[in-house]
Amino acid sequence: MAKFRQKEMNTIQQTYLAGRALVEAGSFDDAIACFDKVLQRLPPRRRDRTYRIEVNMKDLATQGILWLPTVFRDALLAKAYCLNELGRGKDACTVLERAAELDPENPRVFAELGFAHGSQENMEQARQAYNHALELEPANPAHFDALAQLALINEEFSDARAFSLRALELLPDAPVSLQHLAYAEYRLGDIEKAVTLLKRTAELAPDDPDTLCRLAGMLREAGHPREAIARLNAFLTKNPRDPEILGLMNDLLQQDGLATELIPHARRLLEYNPHDPTALDLLSWGYYQQGQLEEALETMKFLVQLEPMQPYHHFKLGMLHQSIGHLQAAMASFLRAVTLDTQGSVEAQAVEAINTLDQVQIEQLLARAKNDPRFRYHLQHHSEMTLHQAGYLLSPLGYMMLQAFDFNDTPENGNDYGAQTVH
């Protein structure tokens, strides 16, 4: 055994425990500093000596290996954990490789090394480390779970299924293994089996939002959106402000045909915050789906007042005005959306709506001009005023298109019409 005095060992152990406390507090840099103090006492590599952290003292003696206390391995593992948490996976790999030299029969060291390599996307090295951990500890389902996850990342779904099934043989109904198997089955084309597996996972972990999100997403894809909504609502009853579940619920409820569920959900959100933009947007969409166009319009108007610089709100307001027949207000909203949209998020849709609305209005104007000589005269000679008084608003391009039409069939006494007001 490498020689350490008892007092020195006590100091090393206390320093390690101080580092562990810092890890629990999330102070990873300070924890690393503690572990480095421990590792300063670790003997350096030497060609004429071999150091190991093992418990079989008889073998150590016969092989001429010097034994090291386990605190050094623990400090290496803890330091690697901190490095991973800080996003320094490459440094973590270096630390764990040293741990593997000192404790080559410890499966935990190789499992951690596999995780560190995986975080660096060194998939082959990760696979080798996990396989070695499995060789050292073949009855540990965690190693099969790690290999299953790696296979999923590499899109080796048949392998992921095989690893997951092996893990479940060792530990039936393990939620992680069931999740891996569910995703493998889903990617292999059996969504109903995937849903069944995730339902079982949800029974085992009813308060896990990640499991619920996966299950709700697959239920929606499998054609069971209302079951997904029911499960999300049950969770929100206990956790009404969970952001991840609320986000999924909001997304799911915007599908067609779910207005009966959407409106109560949006109103419930507004009870917490009457100025919640997402809730107001959902409520307006729910009213629209139910045919309550005036309610949808008033809700969207309020949302535009709250966020006047959001182009998508103006676009939706324009669509609602157009649905009701407010063509002038619709065009104003579409034009405002284009003006505000500096990121191009809604410009193409708004421009298409503007072009369509121009065409509809011009057709209506020409039809009226054909049958109403007085209106035709005013449209030719006082276009802007006539359009405004008649409740029309064209885009600049639409106005140019209107002026390009030939109004040569204006009555000879057209000037008599000039003094009359258009209604």
Q: Of 4-13, 94-103, 246-255, where does the model show the most confidence?
A: 94-103
Going by C-alpha positions, the residue among 9, 146, 27, 15 that lies closest to residue 85 is 27
Which single residue is written with the structure tokens 């998020």?
345
Separation CA 368–CA 379 (nearest Å): 10
**Six-digit token string for 210:** 């990640």
Report the pLDDT value the prediction gives residue 48, as an integer from 0 to 100.
Answer: 52
pLDDT score recorded for residue 34: 96
pLDDT tens-digit readout, 76-99: 999 999 999 999 989 999 999 999
Q: Of 158-167, 200-209, 247-256, 298-307, which range is least confident?
A: 247-256
pLDDT at 411: 47
Q: What is the pLDDT of residue 211?
A: 93
In whole angstroms, give the CA distance from residue 278 to residue 274: 11
SS in 3 state form for the chain? CCCCCHHHHHHHHHHHHHHHHHHHCCCHHHHHHHHHHHHCCCCCCECCECEECCCCHHHHHHHCCEECCHHHHHHHHHHHHHHHHCCCHHHHHHHHHHHHHHCCCCHHHHHHHHHHHHHCCCHHHHHHHHHHHHHHCCCCHHHHHHHHHHHHHCCCHHHHHHHHHHHHHHCCCCHHHHHHHHHHHHHCCCHHHHHHHHHHHHHHCCCCHHHHHHHHHHHHHCCCHHHHHHHHHHHHHHCCCCHHHHHHHHHHHCCCCCHHHHHHHHHHHHHHCCCCHHHHHHHHHHHHHCCCHHHHHHHHHHHHHHCCCCHHHHHHHHHHHHHHCCHHHHHHHHHHHHHHCCCCCCHHHHHHHHHHHHHHHHHHHHHHHHHCHHHHHHHHHCHHHHHHHCCCCCCHHHHHHHHCCCCCCCCCCHHHHHHCCCC
Set out the domains of the chain in order of their start, with CATH numbers.
1-138 (1.25.40.10)
**What's the mean pLDDT in 25-50?**
86
pLDDT digits (tens, 9 = 90+) for 180-227: 999 999 999 999 999 999 999 999 999 899 999 999 999 999 999 999
* Average pLDDT for the chain: 89
> How many Cα atoms within 13 Å fall on the side-chain side of residue 396?
2
Separation CA 150–CA 144 (nearest Å) = 10
pTM across the whole model: 0.69
Do the beta carbons of residue 365 and residue 379 sit within 8 Å? yes
pLDDT in the model for residue 414: 43
Asked whether 178 and 163 are in contact (CB, 8 A), the reply is no
- Name the one residue in this structure whose structure tokens are 């899109």: 155
Greater confidence, 149 or 418? Answer: 149
Using the predicted structure, report yes or no on whether residue 421 has a pLDDT greater than 90.
no
